[in-house]
Each structure stands twice: as C-alpha cells, then as structure tokens.
Amino acid sequence: MGRLDGRVALVTGASRGIGRACALALAAEGAAVAVNYRSQAASADAVVAEIRASGGAAAAFPGDVSDPVAARTLVERAIGELGGLHILVNNAGITRDGLLFNLEPDAWLEVMRVNFGGVFHCTKAVVEHFAAQGGGVIVNISSTHAERGWTGVSTYAASKGAVSAFTRAAAVELARFGIRVNAVVAGITDTEMVGSLTARDGGRGVTRQIPLKRTGRAEEVAAMVVLLAGLENGYVTGASIPVDGGALSTLGVGQPL
C-alpha cells in the first residue's frame, strides 16, 4: 500500500529533471500522475511508460503553463482523464541567465511568465475543484536563489522569490478550503538546467560552498514533495522547506577550527 493510493497528481514540467523525479516518486507511492510537458513529448511519454511498467497509472498532457487558458485546459483534462485531482506540483521552469549589464530590458519577462506565471495559472485553475472536494495539496518548486544572491541569475532569482512569496500568501488564503500550499526550496541540483554551472572545474567551485560538499539529486527534492503531499502532513501549510545540502544555513563554509 502506498501513502498516495487513490490520489491523482499533476506535475508540470515533468518530462525531465526534478519534474520527472516527482512524477516517478508520486507514482511509486500509488498516485496516478498527469505528466505535463511543453515541447518534449517523447521524454514525457518515456516517463509515462516507466510509471506504467512499474504498475502505476499515468498519462502525458501537453500545455504551456505560462498561458492561463492552456493551464486551465491542462487541469480540466487531467481531472477528466484520470478521474480527479488531489495534488498539484508546480515545477515547470526556465532560466535565461546572464550578467545584468548584458541582459535585454525584457529578459525577465519570459522567465517570470513561466516560473511564476505557471504557478499562478495552475493554482488558480485547481482552486475551484479542490475547494469543492474539500481539500487538496499544492507543492511549488522554489529555489535557494530566492533566498540568497548569486551572480548571473537575477531574473531566475526574482521569479523564484515570487514563487516563495506566493506560497505563503496562497496558503493563508486557501486554508479555509482545506487546501494546503507549501514550497520545496531546491538547492543546486544535478539536472540539465544547472549543467553549465557544475561543468566548470568538475563542479568543485560550487560544491565547496555547500556544507554537504555535493550537489543534490532530483530524487531528493522529489522525496520532500511526496512527504508534503501525504495526508499524514495535514497540518503543514505555508512552509518553504529547503533541500539544499545546508546551503541556506551558512554564511560560508569557513575554516575548520
């Protein structure tokens, strides 16, 4: 018996990286999973095939969550084809990194539309359904960049800062409907999105700044998502929980005494 048996989850941006890991982890605990993707249909189909091969239920759903109409259609299709919806994982995200001096004036806009717009649109799309059934769980994937400065990621950091702030406000507003809203604050995680960062000098420049001295794994972020989605954590809402190897707990690794 899985802790999420009988539940249905929608994971945005689930064709790769953290989203893929979340879809697989939720399915392993018994949830039927709607695997959302924007352009990588083959990768999304592969995630669905992997879940089904393990005895789970899943289906792939295209949709650009930065578009409010597409986000609502995605939610409606997931509910209709999988027989309900209980868990929303807002994971879809992009980066457009660069030094401020070199960025175009509207460089922030596309990042904000996807990273925060997707969270807003999908959350808005599930609220009526969740409220009508007496509850639901929303887990947003935020980032340590929302909490600490880092060179070259200003637009991404701003978008994730918005996600973290939205998580707190939405948790307070939606609590009356039995809807819990939390965020997982992911640190430097070994995915395609941060590949260029960890490729430099074998990643040593990054890992030496992390107390656990390594980058995270997508599966470790997904494990926290599953934990927050579980019914046993029904008193947790408005929280932003770091999965970051201790990065947010230090001013620097310092020197050993």
Q: What is the pLDDT of residues 219-255, one digit of tens each?
A: 999 999 999 999 889 999 999 999 998 888 886 655 5
84-134 pLDDT tens trace: 999 999 999 998 989 989 999 999 999 999 999 999 999 999 999 999 999
User: Residue 16: CB partners within 8 Å, gap ≥ 6?
Assistant: 40, 43, 191, 192
The answer to whether 163 touches 146, Cβ cutoff 8 Å, is yes
Q: Is 218 inside any structural domain? A: no
Neighbours of 107 (CB within 10 A): 16
Q: Is 75 inside any structural domain? A: yes
Active site residue: 61, 130, 156, 166, which one?
156
Q: Is 195 inside any structural domain? A: no
Q: Is 230 inside any structural domain? A: yes
Domain with 149 in it: what CATH number? 3.40.50.720
**The residue type at 42:** A
Adjacency order of strands within the sheet including 179-186: 58-62, 32-37, 8-11, 87-90, 136-143, 179-186, 240-243
Q: Is 255 inside any structural domain? A: no
147-164 pLDDT tens trace: 988 888 999 999 999 999
| Greatest extent of the chain over all pairs of C-alpha atoms, in Å | 60
Residue 235 among the catalytic residues: no
Between 208 and 245, name the one with better pLDDT.
Answer: 245
**The residue type at 15:** S
Structural domains counted in the chain: 1
Q: Is 202 inside any structural domain? A: no
Q: Is 215 inside any structural domain? A: no
Residue 230: which domain range? Answer: 8-187+225-242
Distance CA 123, CA 58 (A): 21
Percent of the chain scored above 70 by pLDDT?
93
Neighbours of 31 (CB within 10 A): 29
Cα-based distances in Å from 16 to 28, 59, 123, 136, 152:
17, 15, 21, 25, 23
Q: Is 124 inside any structural domain? A: yes
